[in-house]
Every structure is written in C-alpha cells, then in structure tokens.
C-alpha cells in the first residue's frame, strides 16, 4: 500500500534477536521453527536466545565487528503481542537488503528480492491472539542475476535497513492513489483512487480543505475510481515548497497525505518547471551516514545529507543508485529540493538471463508506487552506466521505458550512460537509446579517468539527440581531505588541489556544452566502497566527495558552490 506512514501503524522497530549465519546452514537447521529439546537425549544447534541483538532499522555490518564485511545470511526474530479484532493486518517492511524470507509463527508468509523498495504481507488470517513471532532470513549476498548484479561501487549494507510496521486497515481500504497534475497543466488534476477488499464499488472523495476542493467519484467493480478536478494551486517549486493536506476517503477508510502540485516537462533543449526554464543544480548522494560509516535510514540522517546539499546551492539531488528511504524523499520535498529517483540497474546487468527483466520491472513498480505522489520527484531513472555489448540491453531498457511511461506519464524519464567517445577534444554522445527518453544523461570524468585532450573551453560536442536537454549526471575526481602525498598537480597525490582543478576545468566545459540543462557532480560526501583499496589514500572509501567522511569541505566544494550561486 502507498503512504504506509499515513496509516494506523504499530512499530516493530527496535532491538531484534539475531543469529548470524555466514555459512548458510540455517535453512538446513530450519531456524524459523525454533525447535526445543523434547526429551533428555535431544539437543538443538541453533537458538535466538542469548544471541546478539540488532537494531532495526539498521544494517547489520556496522553493528558488530564480526559482521563488518559479511555478505551472507543473518536471521532476525521479533515477538509481538496482538489482540485480534475486525481489522485487517499487514506486516510492512520499508526495505530489506537483499533477499528476505519472512515467517510468522513458523509458517512462511512469503519472500522478497530487492534491497531498496517496500513490500508487505497480510497477516489477517494467520496472526494469533496473544504472542506472535516473526522470523526474517536476510541475505545480502551478491547475485549474478540480481539488481544490482555482483559488481557495484558502494558498500553492500545488509539487514532490515528501514522501518518495520504492523498496519491495521478496515476490511476494504484505500490501497493506492495518484493525485497529481496532468501533463502540461498547472491547474488540472487527473488521477485515481484504488480500493482493496470485498466492498469495492464505493463512493470515494478527494478533499483539499485549504482550496475548498471536494471531488467525488464512484469506484467501479475493480475498486478503481477516476479523479478529476481543477484548482488554482500555489505551485510547488524549490523557492516555494508548498504542500497541501490532501484527504483521500472512501466509505470505509480515510488516508491523509501532504501533497504538492507542479508541472514538469522537457521542451526542446530546456526543462520546464511550472512552465519556466530551470537550470538543474544537483549533486549525487549515497544512502550512507558518513559519521557512523553506516546505512542512512532515519529522518535525522536525511536532514544531515540534505542540509549539506542545500548549503551547496543545489535545487535537486540524485539519489544514487537506488531508491533511498522515504524520509529522504519526503524531507527533500519539504525543503524545496527536487529528487532524481533511480532503480539499481547498474553497469553489468545480465539482461538476457531469464527473470532479470521481471525483477527490473518489479523494482520500478515498487519505486513508482511509493513515490508517485511526491511532486519533488521530477525524474525517473531506469539504469546507470549499462553497456551496449551486454546482450538484450537495448530491448530490455526500451521496454522498461515504456512500462515507466505507462505507470506515470507526468514525469520525465532518463537512463544514464558513460559510453560517449572522446577524440580530438570532441565528445561524441552517440547512444541511440536516448531516442526513447526525455533527457540525455551523461557521466563524464574528464580530468580524472580521461585526461583532457585540449582546453576545456574548446571542447566540441556531437549529440545523437540535438533536440533534447542534457544533464551531466556525474563528474569529478578523488581527493583525500588535507592530503599531502605528493605533487599537487599529479592525480596520484589525491590532493584537494587536483580535484579543485578538475572542477575549475569542468566549469569551463559547462560554458561550451550545448543543450546543458543541469549538472550533478559525483558526489556530495565520501562513502565506503570495498573496491577502493589504496590503504592510505582511500582506505576503503571512494574519495570523490566534495565533503570528507567527517563533513569537512574540500577545496572543490567552493568551486561548485560559486558556480551554482552564479546560475
């Protein structure tokens, strides 16, 4: 269901019992059955009693030294007491990374794959009066046919990483809704409400008391009701992040949400917000709290990261390379920061392997379902740095782009590439895949992975889609804050000065880049990545941040901040 936090929730956050299972024998031992000796000659070789307690939400890697580098299985257990009533009951997870099997009182409820999107199971007919036990098998092992696959440049935090709630609803409830402006309009809402239950043919209404809106509709036999109304909205924008209290009501349920209204579209080479051109000033962010070297999961974590982004002068953030927690998306919207939402179709995905495109489709649906009413979300991104040589890539991404438009026709969509050519100081963005997307998004690391072939101010561009807006979606280089490893004009010094010069050169490049609708450097703050193996210059961290892992501003920060102030 959408807007889980807006329901009647019983939180299961807190300490959970656990059994680390690095060798994966828990299935064989049937841990979820919690067997006890029945006679004197019996013994059992697994138990939650006396084992470590893990905080939920949170990753398991940062909570116990023994689990720091675990990519495997941890079993979680939580007991709760419940008094049965006439309500329906759901168990809702904000996210679990990566695979999970969920048991209630020793019976499998179901499984989920994907580490960054919400899922739920209904408990109505299986919950007992009194004490109940939930056991969750969590496995964050990399999967060759996973989304993402086996190779990615961020720390693989495993565990129950987001909120867990029991949610009570009526027998028929408002399961989902879409209340946003239709494409090309700043006054007309075209949406829908979806009911779940046995009494589906109900009257529904959408009310916005501040505007005097009371739109009534009739749900059909499938529980779907179309919603159409017109209003003079105080439109949402980074300078005016206006949200309205919106009440979605049926005869048997009421859900309240905070929703903003704005229009977003691409017109020629410009991106228009509420009909006006907007230059996008962004930064990439990973879902990590650097102070704790742990997965970010709370509203306070989101506030830390977004406050830095706003101080930098950003009007949008790219939440790389997967959907971040809902606190991040909602708080960004409140703060007037637009959001680029992305699923983790990252680099070497096995597009031709049976089942992979189904996983991509499911993750896209789960992301859009959660965030479709967040007006701050302006762009759906369906992939990052995939390769033309990968079998079935083009077909898979084209089909996914069609699915994305079918699920939400109001937002822009993109895919990100890094396959452009660079020769004779000319960048050739040749991927024909961009014909299926609204925005061309290019990752380029000139000055770091590729040396400049001439002056940045004299770079030429060839664009496969000269009539579309382009965002430089990644750029930058690594620097260790306060480094003193060698000559400042050499990349291997990891110096702030070298990174600073990259940004100065990039600013010159921006000035001669056609169709440039925005830039989004890589990235806000240093983050953990086991592939960064230099012991003194990296130490297991990707050092491309404009901030160190302690929040210290590197010299490049001031270059970008100055550029954003002038735009």
- Phi and psi for 26 in degrees, rounded to 5? -60, -35
- Phi and psi for 239 in degrees, rounded to 5? -85, -15
Q: Where in the chain is the domain with CATH 2.60.120.260?
A: 4-169
Architecture field, domain 173-262: Sandwich (2.60)
Nearest Cα neighbor of 414 from 476, 359, 468 is: 468
CB 314 within 8 A of CB 280: no
Residues in the chain: 567
- Compute the distance between CA of residue 430 and CA of residue 376 in angstroms, rounded to an integer: 30
Q: Where in the chain is the domain with CATH 3.20.20.80?
A: 275-474+515-525
- Superfamily, domain 275-474+515-525: Glycosidases (3.20.20.80)
Q: Where in the chain is the domain with CATH 2.60.40.10?
A: 173-262
pLDDT in single tens digits along all 567 residues of the chain: 999 999 999 999 999 999 999 999 999 999 999 999 999 999 999 999 999 999 999 999 999 999 999 999 999 999 999 999 999 999 999 999 999 999 999 999 999 999 999 999 999 999 999 999 999 999 999 999 999 999 999 999 999 999 999 999 999 999 999 999 999 999 999 999 999 999 999 999 999 999 999 999 999 999 999 999 999 999 999 999 999 999 999 999 999 999 999 999 999 999 999 999 999 999 999 999 999 999 999 999 999 999 999 999 999 999 999 999 999 999 999 999 999 999 999 999 999 999 999 999 999 999 999 999 999 999 999 999 999 999 999 999 999 999 999 999 999 999 999 999 999 999 999 999 999 999 999 999 999 999 999 999 999 999 999 999 999 999 999 999 998 788 889 999 999 999 999 999 999 999 999 999 999 999 999 999 999 999 999 999 999 999 999 999 999 999 999 999 999
| Helix axis angle, 555-566 to 496-511, nearest 10° | 20
The DSSP string of 423-462 is ETTEEEE--GGGGGSSEEEEE--BTTTB--SS-GGG-EEE
The DSSP string of 353-389 is STTHHHHHHHHHHHHHHHHTT-TTEEEEEEEES--TT
CATH class of the domain comprising 4-169: mainly beta
> DSSP letter at 554?
P
Nearest Cα neighbor of 18 from 53, 45, 50 is: 53
What are the residues whose beta carbons fall under 8 Å from the beta carbon of 351, sequence distance 6 or more? 357, 386, 390, 391, 392, 393, 395, 396, 397
- Compute the distance between CA of residue 454 and CA of residue 193 in angstroms, rounded to an integer: 56
- For all residues of the chain together, what is the average pLDDT? 97
């Amino acid at each position: 269901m959408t807007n889980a936090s807006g329901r009647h929730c019983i939180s299961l956050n807190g300490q959970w019992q656990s059994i680390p299972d690095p060798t994966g024998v828990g299935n064989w031992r049937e841990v979820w059955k919690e067997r006890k000796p029945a006679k004197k000659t019996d013994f059992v070789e697994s138990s939650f009693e006396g084992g470590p307690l893990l905080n939920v939400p949170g990753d398991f890697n940062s909570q116990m030294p023994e689990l720091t580098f675990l990519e495997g299985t941890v079993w979680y257990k939580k007991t709760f007491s419940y008094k049965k009533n006439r309500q329906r009951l759901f168990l809702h997870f904000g996210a679990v990374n990566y695979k999970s099997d969920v048991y209630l009182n020793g019976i499998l409820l179901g499984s989920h794959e994907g580490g960054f999107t919400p899922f739920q199971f209904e408990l109505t007919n299986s919950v007992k009066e009194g004490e109940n036990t939930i056991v969750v098998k969590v496995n964050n092992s990399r999967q060759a046919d996973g989304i993402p696959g086996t190779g990615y440049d961020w720390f693989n935090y495993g565990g129950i990483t987001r909120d867990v709630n029991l949610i009570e609803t009526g027998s028929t409830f408002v399961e989902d809704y879409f209340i946003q402006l239709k494409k090309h309009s700043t006054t007309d809402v075209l949406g829908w409400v979806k009911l779940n239950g046995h009494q589906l043919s109900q009257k529904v209404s959408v009310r916005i008391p501040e505007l005097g809106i009371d739109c009534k509709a009739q749900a059909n036999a499938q529980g779907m009701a179309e919603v159409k109304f017109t209003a003079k909205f105080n439109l949402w924008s980074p300078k005016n992040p206006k949200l309205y209290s919106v009440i979605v009501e049926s005869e048997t349920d009421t859900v309240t949400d905070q929703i903003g209204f704005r229009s977003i579209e691409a017109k020629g080479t410009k991106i228009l917000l509420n009909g006006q051109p907007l230059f996008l000033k962004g930064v990439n962010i990973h879902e990590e709290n650097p102070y704790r070297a742990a997965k970010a999961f709370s509203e306070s974590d989101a506030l830390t990261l977004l406050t830095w982004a706003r101080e930098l002068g950003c009007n949008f953030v790219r939440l790389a390379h997967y959907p971040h927690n809902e606190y991040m998306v909602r708080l960004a919207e409140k703060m007037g920061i637009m959001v680029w939402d992305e699923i983790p179709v990252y680099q070497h995905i096995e597009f031709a392997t049976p089942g992979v495109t189904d996983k991509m489709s499911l993750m896209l649906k789960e992301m859009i379902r959660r965030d479709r009413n967040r007006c701050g979300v302006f762009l759906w991104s369906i992939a990052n740095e995939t390769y033309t040589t990968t079998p079935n890539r083009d077909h898979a991404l084209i089909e996914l782009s069609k699915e994305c438009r079918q699920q939400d026709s109001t937002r822009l969509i993109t895919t990100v590439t890094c396959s452009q050519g660079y020769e004779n100081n000319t960048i050739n963005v040749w991927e024909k895949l961009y014909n299926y997307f609204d925005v061309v998004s290019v990752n380029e690391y000139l000055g770091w992975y590729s040396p400049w072939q001439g002056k940045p101010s004299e770079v030429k561009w060839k664009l496969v889609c000269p009539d579309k807006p382009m965002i430089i979606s990644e750029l930058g280089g690594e620097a260790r804050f306060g480094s003193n490893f060698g000559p400042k004009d050499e990349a291997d010094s990891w110096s702030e000065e070298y990174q600073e010069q990259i940004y100065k050169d990039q600013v010159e490049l921006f000035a001669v880049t056609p169709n440039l609708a925005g830039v989004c450097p890589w990235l806000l703050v240093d983050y953990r990545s086991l592939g960064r193996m230099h012991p003194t210059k990296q130490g297991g961290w990707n050092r491309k941040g404009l901030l160190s892992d302690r929040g210290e501003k590197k010299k490049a920060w001031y270059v970008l901040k100055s550029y954003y102030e002038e735009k």
